[in-house]
C-alpha cells in the first residue's frame, strides 16, 4: 500500500508539474515576456520521460494534455471577451467556449506526447524527437480545417528582436522546432551524465547562434526611399457594439472622416481604416451619389487611396445574399468615391465568421454567434492588389495574419511580389489586455518572414507601421484605448527572404533530423528512457 500511495503521489506531482510547465511556456509569450518560462518545454519533456511504466502511452498523453491546458489557458483566455459584447444574450457561453477551446487545443499536445513516449530513444537524442513531434503537431494545428496557429512556440520571441529574425529563413514553424530543441535539452541535463551536459551546452550554443544571427541581420537596415508613399493609419478608439442605430452610425463615420482630415506636414498617399470601420455594407455607403460616399470623397485628395475593411453582399437582391468580409481601395470620384481594388477574405474564423456543420449548428443555436446572415463566404486565394501609382500590396484581414507563408503563396501564383502588407483587423472583439498585444506580435512575424513592411489598422489598438524586420519605431504604433493617427513614409521592402522563396522547406528538413531521436524498432518492446 505504501508503494501504491507513493506511486499516486508521484503521478499527482508529475501532473501538476506538467500543468505548470505549459503555463510557464505560455507566459513566455508577449505581452508577459517571461522568457525563463521557455524552460517549461524541458520540464514537460522531463515529466513525459517519467510517465507511469504500467501505462506509459496513456500517462504521456495525460501529461501532454495537461501541459497543453496550461499553455492554452494562458494564451487563449481572451476568447471570452467577444461574448460580453452582447452580454445579455451570449455571456453565458463564455466559460464553455474557453473550456472547450483550451481542452480541444490541448488534445494536440497530448497526442504529440503519446507519440514521443512511444517512439523516443533512450539517449539524449530523444530531444530531437520531442522537438519534432511537438513542432509537427503545431503545424497540424495551423492547418486542420482552416487552422488556428495562435501563439506558436517559435513566436514566443518578441517580433523584431534578434531571435525572431531566423523566421526570415525557416518561418515560424521552423523557429518553433529550434526553440523547442534548445529548451528541451534541460530535460536531459540531469541524469544523462556527460552526454546530458554536452546536450545542454549545445542548446546554449544554439541560443547564442540564434541571437547572433539576428544581431547580424538587424545591423544592415535598408535605406529609406525619399519617394516612398506617405501613409496615414487611423485609429478612432471605438468599442465593438452589439447594435448600431443611425446616431451611432453618423458618429462613427464623422469620426473617421474628421481624423482622415487631421492636419499633417505632408498629405498622405494612402489612408487605412480598419476592418469593419463603418457599420454598414460597403456597397451601400460607398455607392455613387450617396451622402456617405460624397462625404468620404470630400476628405480625399485627387491621388489619395483609401483602404477600408468591411462586409459586402455579392447578390443583394437574392433571398440569401452571399456575404464577404472584404477590403476595398477607393479614390475620389465625381459622385463620391470609386472602387479601384477589392480583396475578399479567404481564411475565415470558425464559429466567428462561418459555422462548420452549418445545419447542426443552427439547431443547437450556435449560429447566433455569426451576425451576418448565414455567415461569410471565403473569397479566392489571396493575390497581391495592384493600386494605380502605388507599390503592389497584399491585404490580410484580421485572422489571416496568423498564417505563415500566406503572403508569398498568392504572389507566386501570379509572379508578382508585393512591396508591403496591409492588415486590417477588429481587435475590439478581444477586449483589453493580452489578446490585441499578442495579435500585433504575431502579425509582425509575417513582416519578418516575407521581408516586407506592414501597415496595420484596428479600431482600438494595436495599430502600427512595421518595418521589414518586424520592428516598430517610436511613435509608429497606437496602443489599446488610444485615439490618433500615424503618419509616416512606407518603410522599404527587403530582398526576397529565403522563407519567401522556399517556404517551409527548412522546417521539413528539421523534421527529418528529428528521426534521429526515434528508438530502433528492435528495441520497441522496452518502455523508453524512463523505464
Q: Which residues contact 116 (CB under 8 A, 6 or more apart)?
A: 45, 48, 60, 64, 126, 129, 130, 133, 134
151 plus 276 within the same structural domain: no
467 plus 510 within the same structural domain: no
The DSSP 8-state label assigned to residue 395 in this structure reads: E
Residue 83, classed as helix, strand or coil, is helix
Q: Which residues contact 169 (CB under 8 A, 6 or more apart)?
A: 497, 498, 499, 506
| H helix intervals, 321-450 | 358-364, 406-414, 434-450
What the block records as the C-alpha cell of 271 is 489612408
Establish if 500 belongs to a structural domain: no
What the block records as the C-alpha cell of 509 is 528538413
**pLDDT value of residue 215:** 97
Establish if 225 belongs to a structural domain: no
**pLDDT value of residue 8:** 64
Neighbours of 32 (CB within 10 A): 14
Angle of CA points 343, 345, 350, to nearest 5°: 175
183 plus 251 within the same structural domain: no
**pLDDT value of residue 14:** 86
513 plus 481 within the same structural domain: no
With left for phi above 0 and alpha for psi between -120 and 50, is residue 126 left, alpha or beta? alpha
| Consecutive 10-residue averages of pLDDT for the chain (531 residues) | 50 90 97 96 95 90 97 92 72 83 96 96 94 98 90 97 98 98 94 92 97 96 88 91 80 95 92 94 94 95 95 74 92 94 89 62 47 72 90 94 86 84 88 87 97 96 95 94 95 96 96 93 55 43
Residue 50, classed as helix, strand or coil, is coil
Instruction: Give the dihedral of Cα atoms 345, 349, 351, 355; nearest 10 deg.
Output: 40
Number of domains observed in the structure of the chain: 2
The DSSP 8-state label assigned to residue 157 in this structure reads: S
Of 149, 144, 139, nearest in space to 173 by CA: 139
Cα–Cα distance for residue pair 256/131, rounded to 1 Å: 47
Angle of CA points 101, 105, 106, to nearest 5°: 115
**pLDDT value of residue 400:** 94
What the block records as the C-alpha cell of 291 is 451622402
Cα–Cα distance for residue pair 86/215, rounded to 1 Å: 47
Establish if 530 belongs to a structural domain: no
Strands 323-333 and 336-344 turn out to be: antiparallel
Cα–Cα distance for residue pair 140/159, rounded to 1 Å: 23
Cα–Cα distance for residue pair 340/357, rounded to 1 Å: 36
**pLDDT value of residue 11:** 76
pTM: 0.91
74 plus 207 within the same structural domain: yes
**pLDDT value of residue 7:** 58
Q: Which residues contact 104 (CB under 8 A, 6 or more apart)?
A: none
Cα–Cα distance for residue pair 503/383, rounded to 1 Å: 17
Establish if 215 belongs to a structural domain: yes
190 plus 273 within the same structural domain: no
Establish if 498 belongs to a structural domain: no
Establish if 425 belongs to a structural domain: yes
What the block records as the C-alpha cell of 449 is 518572414
Residue 231, classed as helix, strand or coil, is strand
Q: Which residues are catalytic?
A: 275, 345, 398
**pLDDT value of residue 350:** 76
Count of all residues that appear for the chain in the document: 531
φ and ψ of 412, to 5 deg:
-65, -30
Angle of CA points 98, 104, 110, to nearest 5°: 130
211 plus 283 within the same structural domain: no
Establish if 42 belongs to a structural domain: yes
211 plus 234 within the same structural domain: no
Host domain of residue 285: 230-493
332 plus 298 within the same structural domain: yes
Strands 393-397 and 454-457 turn out to be: unpaired
What CATH number did the domain enclosing 383 receive?
3.60.110.10
Establish if 130 belongs to a structural domain: yes
Instruction: Give the dihedral of Cα atoms 125, 130, 132, 133; nearest 10 deg.
Output: 140
**pLDDT value of residue 366:** 47
pLDDT tens for 320-336 read 678 999 999 999 999 99
145 plus 234 within the same structural domain: no
519 plus 482 within the same structural domain: no
205 plus 331 within the same structural domain: no
Amino acid at each position: 500500500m505504501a508503494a501504491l500511495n507513493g506511486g499516486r503521489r508521484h503521478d499527482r506531482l508529475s501532473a501538476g508539474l506538467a500543468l505548470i510547465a505549459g503555463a510557464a511556456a505560455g507566459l513566455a509569450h508577449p505581452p508577459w515576456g517571461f522568457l525563463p518560462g521557455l524552460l517549461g518545454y524541458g520540464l514537460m519533456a522531463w515529466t513525459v520521460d517519467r510517465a507511469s511504466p504500467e501505462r506509459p502511452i496513456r500517462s504521456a498523453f495525460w501529461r501532454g494534455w495537461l501541459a497543453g491546458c496550461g499553455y492554452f489557458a494562458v494564451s487563449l483566455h481572451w476568447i471570452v471577451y467577444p461574448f460580453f459584447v452582447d452580454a445579455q444574450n451570449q455571456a453565458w457561453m463564455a466559460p464553455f467556449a474557453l473550456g472547450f477551446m483550451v481542452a480541444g487545443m490541448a488534445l494536440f499536445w497530448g497526442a504529440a506526447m503519446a507519440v514521443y513516449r512511444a517512439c523516443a530513444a533512450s539517449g539524449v537524442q530523444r530531444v530531437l524527437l520531442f522537438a519534432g513531434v511537438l513542432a509537427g503537431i503545431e503545424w497540424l494545428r495551423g492547418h486542420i480545417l482552416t487552422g488556428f496557429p495562435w501563439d506558436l512556440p517559435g513566436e514566443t520571441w518578441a517580433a523584431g528582436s534578434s531571435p525572431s529574425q531566423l523566421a526570415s529563413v525557416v518561418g515560424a514553424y521552423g523557429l518553433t522546432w529550434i526553440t523547442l530543441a534548445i529548451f528541451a535539452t534541460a530535460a536531459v541535463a540531469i541524469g544523462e551524465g556527460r552526454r546530458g551536459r554536452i546536450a545542454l551546452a549545445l542548446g546554449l550554443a544554439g541560443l547564442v547562434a540564434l541571437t547572433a544571427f539576428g544581431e547580424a541581420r538587424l545591423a544592415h537596415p535598408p535605406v529609406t526611399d525619399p519617394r516612398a508613399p506617405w501613409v496615414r493609419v487611423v485609429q478612432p478608439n471605438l468599442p465593438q457594439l452589439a447594435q448600431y442605430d443611425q446616431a451611432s452610425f453618423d458618429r462613427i463615420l464623422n469620426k473617421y472622416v474628421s481624423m482622415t482630415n487631421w492636419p499633417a506636414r505632408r498629405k498622405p498617399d494612402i489612408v487605412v481604416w480598419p476592418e469593419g470601420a463603418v457599420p454598414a455594407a460597403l456597397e451601400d455607403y460607398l455607392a455613387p451619389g450617396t451622402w456617405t460616399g460624397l462625404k468620404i470623397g470630400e476628405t480625399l485628395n485627387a491621388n489619395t487611396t483609401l483602404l477600408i475593411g468591411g462586409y459586402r453582399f455579392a447578390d443583394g437582391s437574392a433571398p440569401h445574399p452571399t456575404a464577404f468580409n472584404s477590403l476595398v481601395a477607393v479614390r475620389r470620384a465625381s459622385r463620391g468615391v470609386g472602387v479601384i481594388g477589392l480583396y475578399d477574405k479567404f481564411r475565415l474564423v470558425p464559429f466567428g465568421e462561418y459555422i462548420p456543420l452549418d445545419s447542426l449548428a443552427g439547431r443547437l443555436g450556435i449560429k447566433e454567434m455569426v451576425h451576418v446572415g448565414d455567415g461569410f463566404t471565403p473569397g479566392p486565394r489571396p493575390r497581391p492588389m495592384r493600386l494605380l501609382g502605388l507599390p503592389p500590396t497584399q491585404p490580410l484581414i484580421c485572422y489571416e495574419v496568423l498564417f505563415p507563408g500566406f503572403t508569398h503563396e498568392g504572389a507566386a501564383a501570379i509572379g508578382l511580389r508585393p512591396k508591403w502588407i496591409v492588415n486590417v483587423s477588429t481587435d475590439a472583439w478581444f477586449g483589453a489586455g493580452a489578446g490585441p498585444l499578442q495579435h500585433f506580435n504575431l502579425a509582425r512575424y509575417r513582416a519578418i518572414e516575407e521581408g516586407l513592411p506592414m501597415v496595420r489598422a484596428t479600431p482600438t489598438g494595436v495599430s502600427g507601421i512595421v518595418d521589414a524586420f518586424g520592428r516598430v519605431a517610436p511613435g509608429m504604433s497606437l496602443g489599446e484605448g488610444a485615439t490618433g493617427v500615424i503618419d509616416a513614409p512606407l518603410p522599404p521592402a527587403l530582398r526576397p527572404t529565403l522563407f519567401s522563396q522556399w517556404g517551409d522547406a527548412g522546417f521539413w528538413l528539421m523534421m527529418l533530423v528529428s528521426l534521429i531521436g526515434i528508438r530502433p524498432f528492435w528495441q520497441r518492446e522496452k518502455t523508453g528512457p524512463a523505464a
